[in-house]
Chains A and B, each alone.
Chain A
């Protein structure tokens, strides 16, 4: 198995780990967004969805385990790459002109750090039921189900929470816009006929995620989606 070890330890292996875990996390982000968008279908729909998710049992834990692993590997690879990269240039340029790199590409590291912090806050607030708004976490709907609908809506009615969420989604958008296109490059998925599409994949998916995820707090703040308690 030394061949596998060599592969994983190589620079390209590290990039592949980033890409594969990134792809898994992208899958999660998209699924999570689609699930959450059910908030627009009303309290009953989204609460039922939450129950269904919870009822997956072992499967849910496998998915959660996979996600945690993906996050950890993604972070670990990123840290390795960042340290290798900064070691590769011990003396910086007095002037460094940027020709082709983008704001998104240059801020991957900071975006990643912000997203981790956001992730922790998000989990504490909405999965573990901690944080300043923990009262909302204990709400139940008329069927005695965990009231995801009102928890979310009440949460977003708090301007600070909504704002931090919007900012995080903007960061995610940049992270994805570079990350998704890079994922194709890192895995070597390219073809002259489709390279244009691949180049657009990152920004397009990122924008979609931004619109989808931000539509919820904006709808709440605008009063289009209201709490039922």
Chain B
């Protein structure tokens, strides 16, 4: 038989980016939650009950709900995306919890991620980093045959490991310094590892690091909380690569 539970939710409610926000406690709306629900489905149910009572539902971001789009973003009891390793909030399921559990749900917290409403934040700062140079400058139509560039499986796999980043921002949320270095470094590693990306390595590295600094993110203190929170298991070794690459690009490249 499937198990149900009653929960207490403390949810961050904030009208808009100017509002200061506070926690609101919900118990009545969090009864009879099935263990088979996903965490976000649990919030859907709570929201339906809130609307029926004439209250405003909890705003939260989600889209694909299969762990790949990177839209969902919430900190559950201090952990971005909740307690499951390598899992986004949308794939966390309620069988993790038991009757009577008390949960605190907060938005990603960083100066660079202003809260839009409740649990929704603006992550344009991450896009500004990619848009500064996270691409290979090649026009459509000019590409050579794909097999004319041979790329060893190891190189290709290493690039893919970094490219798996879904840009959710959990690394920023988890980092005590709100640093976006895991994100930036993953994007850099993806492009810089591949032969196609080599011609622009220095330019790309400098542009993206500068954009990252400009966006107001903190720095890496090697706590590795980002690595623990990353739903795609990106390793902090990419940050070392970026650190090295940035020095090389700044100091040695003509």
Contact = CB atoms under 8 A, between A and B. Distances in A.
Nearest to A190: B240
A105 B221 contact: yes
Interface string A23-46: 000000000000000000000000
A88 interface: yes
A126 B188 CA distance: 49
B236 interface: yes
B216 A88 contact: yes
Dominant SS among interface residues on chain A: helix
- Which has the most chain A C-beta neighbours within 10 Å: B109, B212, B222, B225? B222
Contacts of B236: 185
A184 B240 contact: yes
Interface in A62-92: 81, 84-85, 87-92
Contact of B179 (A3, A6, A88, A178): A88
A11 B178 contact: no
B243 A85 contact: no
Interface in B82-129: 104, 106, 109-112
A166 to B, nearest CB: 27
A178 B222 contact: yes
A93 interface: yes
Given A95-B78, A185-B236, A89 B109 contact: yes
B244 A187 contact: yes
A224 interface: no
Contacts of B223: 100-102, 105-106
A12 B178 contact: no
Contact of A84 (B23, B219, B237, B247): B219
Nearest to B172: A88
B239 interface: yes
A89 B244 contact: no
B245 A106 contact: no
Interface string B236-253: 110111111111001100
B109 A99 contact: no
A94 B23 contact: yes
Given A7-B251, A106-B176, A95 B222 contact: no
B137 to A, nearest CB: 22
B245 A188 contact: yes
Dominant SS among interface residues on chain B: mixed
Contacts of A186: 220, 222, 240, 243
Contact of A10 (B209, B221, B227): B209
Contacts of B106: 93-95
Contacts of B179: 11, 85, 88
A108 interface: yes
A10 B111 contact: no
Contacts of A182: 221-222
Given A90-B111, A91-B109, A93-B78, A11 B219 contact: yes
A190 B227 contact: no
Nearest to A183: B222
Nearest to B85: A99
A181 interface: yes
A105 B221 CA distance: 7
B243 A88 contact: no
A183 to B, nearest CB: 9
Interface of A: 3-4, 6-7, 10-16, 81, 84-85, 87-102, 105-106, 108, 178, 181-182, 184-190, 192, 195
Given A94-B78, A186-B240, 11 more contacts: A12-B243, A87-B216, A88-B178, A89-B176, A95-B78, A96-B176, A99-B79, A108-B221, A188-B241, A188-B244, A195-B237
28 contacts: A4-B251, A10-B246, A11-B212, A11-B213, A11-B220, A12-B243, A15-B220, A88-B112, A89-B110, A89-B111, A90-B111, A93-B78, A93-B109, A94-B106, A95-B78, A99-B229, A101-B176, A101-B225, A105-B222, A105-B224, A106-B223, A108-B221, A181-B222, A185-B222, A186-B222, A188-B243, A188-B244, A195-B237
